[in-house]
Amino acid sequence: MCIFCKIVAKEIPSNAVAENEEFYAFHDINPKAPVHVLVIPKAHFDSFKEIPGDVMGRMSTFMQETAKTLGIDESGYRIISNIGEDGGQEVKHLHFHLLGGAKLKWGHFADADPKDFI
């Protein structure tokens, strides 16, 4: 069982934000912003590549509600899902990072000079 499936099964403790029968939102153990919450489907999908559109639709609604619960709906936030090797995905159970609570910086995402990509 993967680490996030163990969190869903409560074999590993986590700090809950919101939950329904299909999805779970909990605080990231290593926050990178004042609000850093992970949103996952309770069912295991390896990454965003595997999630069916209807489940993604319901997950979008759940993330919108979670942002309201966190009090960042008006101030704004960022949603990120890292996918695979180049995406930097460490945990192979689909998750969205929900980040906010401060004005977020916008990065430089690769080591190469962006001009080299054009």
Q: Which residues bind ligand 5GP (CB under 6 A)?
A: 3, 12, 14, 26-30, 38, 82, 88-91
Verify binding: residue 12, Zn ion, rule CB under 5 A.
Answer: no
Edge-to-edge strands of the sheet including 16-19? 16-19, 23-27, 35-41, 96-100, 77-80
**Which amino acids are annotated catalytic?**
95
Residue 2 touching Zn ion (CB under 5 A): yes
- Asked if 90 contacts 81 with a C-beta cutoff of 8 angstroms, the reply is no
24's enclosing H/E stretch is strand 23-27
CB of 75 to Zn ion, least distance (A): 31
Site for Zn ion (CB under 5 A): which residue of 17, 27, 44, 46? 44
Residues making contact with Zn ion (CB under 5 A)? 2, 4-5, 44, 93
